[in-house]
């Protein structure tokens, strides 16, 4: 089965994950880079947090937990 076809059967993120991601992005002062961050983690599939799959949301939350306030996020090119 292709990767695209498998994505159709993945579970959307939970309400808790949605709230957590948006809160952490605001706390880490990454609001202006939010679209780039989401796009990087979804490989360009979406820039909307609501469209994330559970596994993508989990990866973003892990990244944000490790992200330091004084760090600079550089989007992938």
What pLDDT, on the 0 to 100 scale, is given for residue 40?
95
How many CA atoms are closer than 13 Å to the CA of 53, on its beta-carbon side?
A: 13
Q: Per residue in 28-72, pLDDT tens?
A: 999 999 999 999 999 999 999 999 999 999 999 999 999 886 676
DSSP, collapsed to helix, strand or coil, labels residue 12 as strand
pLDDT of residue 73: 72
pLDDT value, residue 35: 96
d(CA 65, CA 6): 28
pLDDT for position 1: 45
pLDDT at 4 over 60: no
């Amino acid at each position: 089965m292709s990767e695209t076809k498998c994505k159709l059967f993945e579970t959307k993120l939970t309400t808790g994950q949605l709230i957590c991601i948006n809160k952490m992005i605001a706390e880490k002062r990454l609001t202006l880079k939010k679209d780039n961050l989401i796009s990087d983690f979804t490989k360009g599939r979406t820039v909307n947090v609501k469209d994330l799959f559970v596994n993508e949301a989990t990866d973003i939350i892990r990244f944000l937990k490790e992200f330091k306030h004084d760090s600079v996020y550089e989007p992938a090119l």
